[in-house]
A and B are shown apart, each in its own frame.
Chain A
Amino acid sequence: MMMIVVTKEDFSVDGVLNELRSREMGALVTFVGLVRGRSQGRDVDRIEIQVYEEMAKAQLEAIREEAMEKYGVEEVAIVHRYGSLKVSENIMMIAVGAGHRPEGFEACRFVLERIKESVPIWKKEITPEGDFWVEGEEHGRKD
């Protein structure tokens, strides 16, 4: 199985989990990110996700390896979509296979926070009031 996937297509959460299972795992900690129908006080019709694909894949692979080493988990899979996504669709998924739950939860949180910091992917919210880029937690724009 490919442990890092960047795709326009939707994915099956069960499909990813079933490919990840192994004898060493006592826990599969899973995070699934969805398109929220409301953001920053506005209704959202859909979102568009842009990706710098080559760099994003390399960054995701580095985060995966860092998480496995740092937390000693068995396996990490990351799927992230791009393109046009409707409200409630899957945006991304992280699955961490671990011997036990503590390191599984910690590794999953670590992977998510690192993605939000450093993987070159951007969301644009398409709303009745116009289109708005979401710019990281550090707010790129001065206004």
Chain B
Amino acid sequence: MSEPRLVEVRRNVLKQNDVIARALREQFRAAGVFVVSLVSSPGSGKTTFLEKTLTQLQPRYRVAALVGDLATENDAVRLARSKAPVKQITTGTLCHLEAAMVQNALQDWDLHQLDFLFIENVGNLVCPSSYDLGENLRLVLMSVTEGEDKPLKYPTIFNSADVAVVTKNELASVVGFDWNAARTSIESVRPGMQIFRLSAKTGEGMEEYLKFLSQQLAEHRSVARV
């Protein structure tokens, strides 16, 4: 009679994605482009925020964006109004972007011609957290209408991100948004996280955030040159 036995294998399930993500990160470093990914729940204002970001960075920087969406190209159409190069990645039924999709989408782009590349993930606060896209900075967005405890409900994605952006601040007083409670939630799941509070619609707070991006680009390039 045969006996079952254990054979140790130790295989990282996401290894394939991680390998591609590492290759992308190296490609970004070599090209001197700073890559920012955006994650959030659907309807948090990612596209408006990104449209304003692209428009306001453009006078000084060469910018482009990849946008992930399940079915439509509406976001790409909206972002194209910024006049920046925009490419849609339609994921079909897939709820997140993977490194291979980013790699495919970038095949015919010359990254050396860019300063900033933005990658808008599919609106989802769960699945994107598992996938490294090779980005240099991951922004997690939450709007003031979503509730201050959003980070506590989705700790993994907040923990995996580098910067939090609280959007739709023009609605904060209407919905009675408790800023301190939100900040405490963010600090709890991601101590020391940089937080921007802004309104893409009115422009309030955008300047500080854009200045931060410029600094990040400068740092990225000074490190890349070494």
Are these two chains actual partners, yes or no? no
Q: Which B positions have Cβ atoms within 8 angstroms of A?
A: none
A residues apposed to B, CB below 8 Å: none
